[in-house]
Structure 1
Amino acid sequence: MSDLTTTGGASSQAETAEQADRAGRAERAEQGLEFFATCPKGFEHLLADELSAQGVPRVRALRGQVGFGGGLEDAYRACLWSRMASRVTLVLARVDATSSDALYEGMSHIPWQDHVPAGATIAVEAHGTNAALRNTQFTAVRAKDAIVDVILARRGTRPMVDVRHADVSVAVRVSRERATVGIDLSGAPLFRRGYEAARSGRAPIAPLRPDYAAALLAAGGWYRSVRHGSPVLASVYDGAGSLLVEAAAQALDRAPGLLRTHWGFEGWGGHDHVLWEKVLGEAHERAEAAAGARVVLLAHDTRPGAETAARHALRAAGMDVEPTFVDAGEMATRLGRACASGEPLVAMDLSWLDEGAVAAEAAAMSECVAAAAGVAGKAATVVALAKDAALDSALGREADGTIDVLVGQDDAAIRTFDAAGLPREHASVGVTEPGGRQVSVPVLVDASDQFVRRLQKVWRLRRKWAEREDVSCYRIYDADLPDYSVSIDLFQGSELMPARGGRGRWLQVYEYAAPRSVDATLARRRLLDVLAIAPHVIGVAPENVFVRVRTHGKGGSQYAAESRDQRGQAGGQGRGRRDGGRPGRRPGDGRVLLPRGAHLVDEGGLTFEVNFDTRLDCGIFLDHRETRSLVREMMKKTVGSKRFLNLFAYTGTATCYAADGGAKHTTTVDMSRPSLEWARRNMERNGFVSKMRPPEHEYVQADVLAWVQEQRHSKNRWDLIFCDVPTFSNSSRMRGSWDVQRDHAELVIGISRLLTRNGSAIFSCNLRGFKPDVEKLQRAGVSLEDITAETIPEDFQRNAKIHHCYIVRRTA
């Protein structure tokens, strides 16, 4: 009997506990709890509107977050349905944070045993600082101590800490003298929708984060289009599909959290599983009911791999929607028709444009203007995420509204335009493409039609000259119009490496830094027009246009650009690092590997590697085309040991010409190890590989100035020396600084002492006002013969001072 009584009593107690637990959960679900949803800067009011539209009560926008009240069901809905929130946190208490002890004391009054189930792991994340709590890691540890001590006192066991996969995550936010303590209900950030994992880590385009895509759509009023039925979205640069996925999800009434497999509240002691299943079930029912909804997704993105990335994102997100990819002109036509029956939204992600990506920006602005032409003057909205106001200039109107945000560490803004106020006509110029097709190119400066006429004229003349002379890489335009102060060089791919559909073609555009008297905004608009026009005139894909600005860089020459790549590498002072026998990396068939981003071009019967992505200069100086040919011819006439020395060698193009002229031994000296490796690849690609010991072709990493002085005291002498010096350098890897006007005489004298009895050297520099110290050189027994005029190629005749060139000989 006693056994039955005991059993019945235990059962009754268990039922009572379960009923109490159920009652407590129901009370928490219905009572007025407090929550806050964090979000990126600038999203606060957009997020507040979103939560209000979901029926969440007591919503108020704060700084970096939105507060709201209600029960657990409201919090669950916010977690599942919010597209712009980063996390949702249940507020447990606000405690004193005037010291670490006060924080510990305040947190010790929270009944943590109710929130952390037996056996559950915990983690604490702290944000914010004040005068007493200056280190968030220390704050988190002190808060964790309070939680552990409370649970230890109540249960006699300590909960384990797991910072990576905790069952219960506690958030502590310090602000002034108070700290807000809460339970993170989200787990992983809510912008991790669940489909991102399916994206390839090697995707060519960085995706726009889903919450930013959602904010862009919200600012553009996409929800209104969805509510009115048959919505039309035209996406120009779609963030690798993020804009399309978010737009389709809203149109198909799919909660953004449906693909998530884990939530922060699942291990929390106050979690109501039944209530969550109800909220989740309703979301699935809504998605099923809207599965047949119609949405039109138009997309235009000229970046390689963009269409594939977008379609893959839609499939990974489970969206049975097919976007239509069209060119900008076709998009404008379709948008014009869509305006007759509704108000389409044109959304543009321009956040991928970096400050230095001027060529990409010019092409993007042109595409955006062409696409937006379809809604200009009509009932529609254009919205863009951009890091500057360039789009305002391109569209011919200031944005009607802006929301300041951050993209990474960069300032940006969501810019909205009422399409009814956009001008129907934009300034444009007519361009004849190489195939004879006439196109209209939008421009920012009306006078750019003069640039079109000039470029078309010089391109026609230069192309005929190049074909006649069998030159494939040459200068087309060189500041022919003072207002359009740029140079444009064309590079055509090597015949050894035909590209798909023909040889590759690239444009290298150098902008000469405008004087302070020229309005910087006007100068940039002119540059953008140049970059929009030149690809059409010359027939080069916009993505194959590269821009550099010619300024006096710290460190001088190529070394300033390379210094970032040389951290931790020896500077090569004094005697230098010799490397003659080690071949470049080769695949199994013996070919020389081509680095990522590099291309091959031909010149003078030789093949050279160029790279437009990594530095100011691409690897070959076109103005020295004739100089390199002179090196080859002089080498052919050299008798005796036929030894060649290349100083400040850069990528070793002159060394290749010397070897082609019969040099039996070459020495290539430069302070930059990447340049020397590049020079080796150029030599090996042209068949000049060392096969003996000591090697016929050696590469020395050294400070050239110090190295020359050391070689004067050795027995090493050369029959022909080529020295193309930088104008200025103060590289930390040099002994002191270098100024060509100030220091050239000592260097030339040193070079002359390295010549054989009948040897000669070619000395070159690109300081426009350079004047050699002839008297000092004569006193040292050195003669100079000015050969500048005969070394300036036809395509550089407009800029006859592009370089100075001299033959150096010893007279004593």
Structure 2
Amino acid sequence: MEFFASCPAGFEGLLADELRALGTPRVRPLHGQVGFEGKLADAYRVCLWSRLASRVVAILARVGARTADELYEGVSQIAWEDELVRTATISVDAHGTNSELRNTRFTALRTKDAIADRMAEMCGVRLATDPSQADLTVIVRLSRERAVIGIELAGEPLFHRDGQRKASLRESLRPDYAAALLATGGWYRLCRHQTPTLLVLGAGAAVLLAEAQAECDDRAPNLLRHRWGFESWLRHDEAVWFALLDEADERAEKAAKASTTANFFDVGANGIDATQLGAADVLLCCDLSRAADFAESSRELAQARSTVAALPLGSTLSVLGRDKSLGVALSLEPTREERIYLGADEGVLAAYELKEDIRQALPLALKCGSTVMVELSSSEQFARRLEKTWRLRRRWARREDIGAYRVYDADLPDYAVAIERFEPSKLMDESKYGGTGGGPWAVLSEYAAPKEIDPALAYTRLSDALAITAPVLEVATGDVFVRQRLRARGGSQYANRQVVRDSAAKKEKLALAAGAHLVDEGGLTFELNFSGGLDVGLFLDTRDIRARIREMTKTTVGSKRFLNLFAYTGSASCYAADGGAKYTTTVDLSRPYLEWAERNMERNGFGGPEHEYVQADVLSWVHEQRHTRNRWDLIYLDPPTFSNSSRMKSSSFDIQRDHVELLIDVSRLLTRAGSCVFCCNLRGFVPEREKLAKAGVELSDITDQTIPEDFLRNKRIHHCYIVRRCQPSAV
């Protein structure tokens, strides 16, 4: 008979090794699965003993599947009356598409219909279907013009064991991933020695220890499973299955009598003392895959490194992570490496042998009196540069009474990060709004490294920068937040932002969300969120633009109506209101950001019906307003560089391509004496002045007047213009 065992992508080599160790004949690693041939007993043994397989499938036939009708005909030719228990419920699991069968649900439906029609014709029974609790699952694997049809033998996935039934990989380390980590480090081989020692580190420590103990005890991982898919399969051989169960029981009893004594240590919970370790047979398994953010990942990496330093030579290190950062930090080359997936993200399984003393972390003395441990000697240059810029920037910020500012902006090319510091509000007590206080805070934003830079080296540099930033900027370690910026691939201006609002905050309109704090700027107070998305809620490079809006509002005559387009969290609306705007209109596509803007306004004393908030696609809304009598004396326009949000009525927006049409539309919303402040952060932006002039739109470049002191190193951080209406130029 022919079978295949499916597994997570990247596990194929490990699973093939496991099946060979079980004596499985004719093993063939494939993509996402391992094929094998043999007797029914061989498939049963894989079901019972495999720790890495997800499912085991008995292949019944390969049929043509160029069209739905051909698939139906091929499935109908299978003698289902010889395969299925008459009273069983079935489900169909279909994977793969081709030019005709492009929907897996439809493929599953046609397969089910073919099976049901065959059973009705041959047996006079109508099979019941139950997708959620089926007795037996029929597998369809479609590839080009052929489909593999099989019976799933396990029932539920084999990794549903030991209380992990419904847990996802992001919530807890799945048992098959724990087993893969152990297999990569050779734990089963070590278990055959006299006194093996296992150290585990990371969020998946409990699952790793349970899986390792079961392997050491030679217990079949699925011995206690109560329900199997093959029980509703007519080819099931009960005598063969019970014989394998008896064999598994005997192996567990034999292992219990063996003299092997394994030692287990949870390093994360209890630490480790080198004197507790033997001279050899030591395996350290590190689960570095699910850190909530870079700061937590960096702390895990530092702990892993210090643990490795305590291991005796000859020990083995096995790591599950998103990259090979730990290996790079230790200057080790992997003895085995598997590229895998952690949910939708890429990851690495790697094993290392400690044959010689590892590279030690370097102590770095800082001028503030602290000493930090860094991985790279070049990080000293970063530290000295940060100390210098911090000294100068702090003096400037105190003189100008600025509490939120940039300290470092990729001053050194190898350390391409931006670092900003935020002082807690002096104007408001955030505990009044449920805030936790604290501060100051720092945000360290990494610019995406060029493709030719080793990701692990970039990670190590960022980790060193994080270790240095906290003491230099006089910020608690837990109050430094890391943002990793990726190279843009399109999407909405909100693609990398999120708003964290808990249920308690929703009950109280002005309550601060989890991770949110109050920070002052220009005599106003703003809510910032350091634990949310990519941006905290206030763009510091436009600080002087906001101040200019306040001054322009003061000198505006007439109705003093202000319009804020692509408003984000409404900081410009606050400045306009503070400058005397009688009416403000704040427009954005995002409802959460409009609510954030309203909280900012109300905390600063600008509430009431004269301040309105409009959730709309700004481009469409502006075009619609041209046909109304609504006009504004001052407009702030800060559009995204690019957006293809599904909520936009247009297919996409590109500021260079579309700015002429946008500025013409916006200019028509101005009163005759009105003006618009247009800000754009596309570095290479070039306005098409001739086209604008023909449409009666005048542009005055004020960029140089709007770059703050802390952004002077990067004068292309944004472009800023005053837009006014004028007489159209002659064509």
TM-score, normalised by the number of residues in structure 2:
0.77
- Separation of aligned partners in 2, 1:746 and 1:685: 32
Task: Choose the corresponding residue for 1:374, options 307, 310, 318.
Answer: 310
* Structure 1 match to 2:542: 624
2:379 aligns to what?
448
Match of 2:282 among 341, 344, 353: 344
Q: 1:239 to 1:157 in 2, by over 3 A?
A: same
SS at match of 2:572: helix
1:402 aligns with 2:337: yes
Give the deviation of 1:521 after TM superposition.
8.2
Q: Trace 1:545-694 onto structure 2 (pairs within 5 A).
A: 545-549=481-485, 554=490, 559-562=492-495, 590-592=508-510, 594=512, 599-611=517-529, 617-633=535-551, 635=553, 641-670=559-588, 674-690=592-608
Give the whole-Å Cα distance in 2 for the aligned partners of 1:766 and 1:255: 60
Question: Are residue 474 (structure 1) and residue 405 (structure 2) matched?
Answer: yes
User: Is residue 359 of structure 2 the alignment partner of residue 425 of structure 1?
Assistant: yes
Within 5 A, what are the aligned runs for 1:454-533? 454-466=385-397, 469-492=400-423, 495-497=429-431, 502-503=438-439, 505-511=441-447, 526-527=461-462, 529-531=464-466, 533=468
1:478 counterpart letter in structure 2? D
Partner of 1:19: none
**Distance 1:290-1:535 versus aligned 2 partners, 3 A rule:** farther
SS in 1 for 2:52: coil
> CA 1:660 to 1:46, structure 2 compared with 1: closer, same or farther past 3 Å?
same
- Once the two structures are TM-superposed, the CA of residue 191 in structure 1 deviates from its matched residue by 0.8
- Is it true that 1:192 corresponds to 2:160 in the alignment? yes
Farther-moved stretch of structure 1 (359-368 vs 448-457) = 359-368
Q: Deviations over 1:723-777 (max 9, x none)?
A: 44656778865699665799579949965983576x6665545566779999998
Kindly, what percent of the aligned residue pairs are identical? 43
Change beyond 3 A, Cα 1:721–1:129: closer
Q: d(CA) in 1 for partners of 2:91 and 2:233? A: 12
Q: Which amino acid aligns with 1:796?
A: F
Structure 1: distance between partners of 2:408 and 2:7: 49
Q: What are the Cα deviations for residues 464-516 of structure 1, in whole angstroms up to 9, with x where unaligned?
A: 544565533211102323443432112355550586683372414152776x9
Task: Show the counterpart of 1:795.
Answer: 710
Once the two structures are superposed, residues 251-276 of structure 1 have per-residue CA deviations (whole angstroms, 9 ceiling, x without a partner) of: 34443225533222444553248657
Structure 1: runs of 5 or more not aligned? 1-32, 301-323, 566-583
Does residue 1:437 correspond to 2:404, yes or no? no
1:173-252 alignment, distance < 5 Å: 184-197=152-165, 205-239=170-204, 241-252=206-217
- C-alpha distance after superposition, 1:550-585 (max 9, x if no partner): 867757xxx5445999xxxxxxxxxxxxxxxxxx99
Q: Secondary structure at the match of 2:267?
A: strand
Kept in 2, the 8 Å contact 1:360–1:542? The answer is no
**Counterpart of 2:447 in 1: which secondary structure?**
strand
Partner of 1:271: 238
Q: Measure how far apart 1:293 and its partner are.
A: 5.8
**CA 288–183 in structure 1, closer or farther in 2 if over 3 Å, else same:** farther
Shift of 1:183: 5.3
Distance 2:689 2:151 in 1: 80
Report the Cα offset of residue 158 of structure 1.
5.6
What CA deviation, in whole Å up to 9, does each residue of 1:524-548 have, x standing for no partner? 7655543454345444547953334
Secondary structure of the residue aligned to 1:193 is: coil
Separation in 2, partners of 1:517, 1:280: 51
Q: CA deviation at 1:220?
A: 0.5
Equivalent-residue separation in structure 2 for 1:406 and 1:617 (angstroms): 27
Q: Quote the residue 1:697 is aligned against.
A: 611
**8 Å Cα contact 2:522/2:547 also seen in 1:** yes
Task: State the Cα distance separating 1:549 from its structure 2 match.
Answer: 3.8
**AA at the equivalent of 2:156:** A
Provide, for residues 83-110 of structure 1, a one-character-per-residue CA deviation record: whole Å limited to 9, x for no partner. 122234567x6688797698568743x8
Letter in 2 for 1:271: E
- Distance change >3 Å, CA 240–CA 752, structure 1 → 2: farther
Q: Is the 8 A contact 2:588 2:616 kept in 1?
A: yes
Alpha-carbon offset, residue 226 of structure 1:
2.5
Q: Deviations over 1:691-712 (max 9, x none)?
A: xxxx201234566677668767
Paired with 2:625 and 2:2, the residues of 1 have a C-alpha distance of: 79
CA distance in 2, matches of 1:700, 1:449: 50
**Aligned to 1:420, what secondary structure does the other structure show?**
coil
Q: CA deviation at 1:242?
A: 2.9
Specify which of 7, 11, 34 is matched with residue 65 of structure 1.
34
Specify which of 266, 272, 275 is matched with residue 298 of structure 1: 266
**1:360, distance to aligned residue in structure 2 (A):** 6.4
Provide the rounded CA distance (Å) in 2 between the counterparts of 1:742 and 1:47.
53
Mapped to 1, the partners of 2:658 and 2:13 lie a distance apart of 62
CA gap of 1:499–1:285, structure 2 versus 1, over 3 A, is farther
How does 1:751-762 map onto structure 2 within 5 Å? 751=667, 754-755=670-671, 762=677
Matched residues in 2 for 1:605 and 1:348: separation?
49
1-side partners of 2:699 and 2:77: how far apart?
A: 87
Q: Which residue matches 1:26? A: none
Measure how far apart 1:42 and its partner are. Answer: 4.6
Secondary structure (helix, strand or coil) at the match of 2:602 reads: helix
Q: Distance in 1 between matches of 2:437 and 2:72?
A: 72
Cα–Cα, structure 1 residues 609 and 743, in superposed 2: closer, same or farther, change >3 Å? same
Q: Deviations over 1:570-629 (max 9, x none)?
A: xxxxxxxxxxxxxx9996874335556655433334332334677654321112334434
Paired residues, number: 702
Closer, same or farther in 2 for the Cα pair 1:283/1:411, shift >3 Å?
A: same
Give the superposition deviation at 1:181: 7.2
Distance 1:728 1:133 in 2: 35
- Once the 2 structures are TM-superposed, how far is the Cα of residue 188 of structure 1 from its aligned partner? 0.8
CA contact (8 A) 1:511 1:548 kept: yes
* Residue matched to 1:416: 351
User: SS state of the match for residue 192, structure 2?
Assistant: helix
Q: Report the alpha carbon displacement of residue 448 of structure 1 after superposing the two structures with TM.
A: 2.5
Q: 1:650 to 1:84 in 2, by over 3 A?
A: closer
Classify 1:665/1:281 alpha carbon distance in 2 versus 1 (closer, same or farther; 3 Å): same
- CA–CA separation in structure 2 for the residues paired with 1:159 and 1:754: 70
Distance 1:341-1:623 versus aligned 2 partners, 3 A rule: same
**1:761-776 mapped onto 2 (5 Å cutoff):** 762=677, 764-766=679-681
Aligned residues of 2:634 and 2:675 also touching (Cα < 8 A):
yes
Amino acid at match of 1:343: D
What is the deviation of 1:222?
1.0
Choose 1 or 2 for highest CA Rg. 1
2:190 is paired with a residue whose SS is helix
Equivalent AA in structure 2 for residue 439 of structure 1? V
8 Å Cα contact 1:399/1:417 also seen in 2: yes
CA distance in 2, matches of 1:477, 1:405: 36
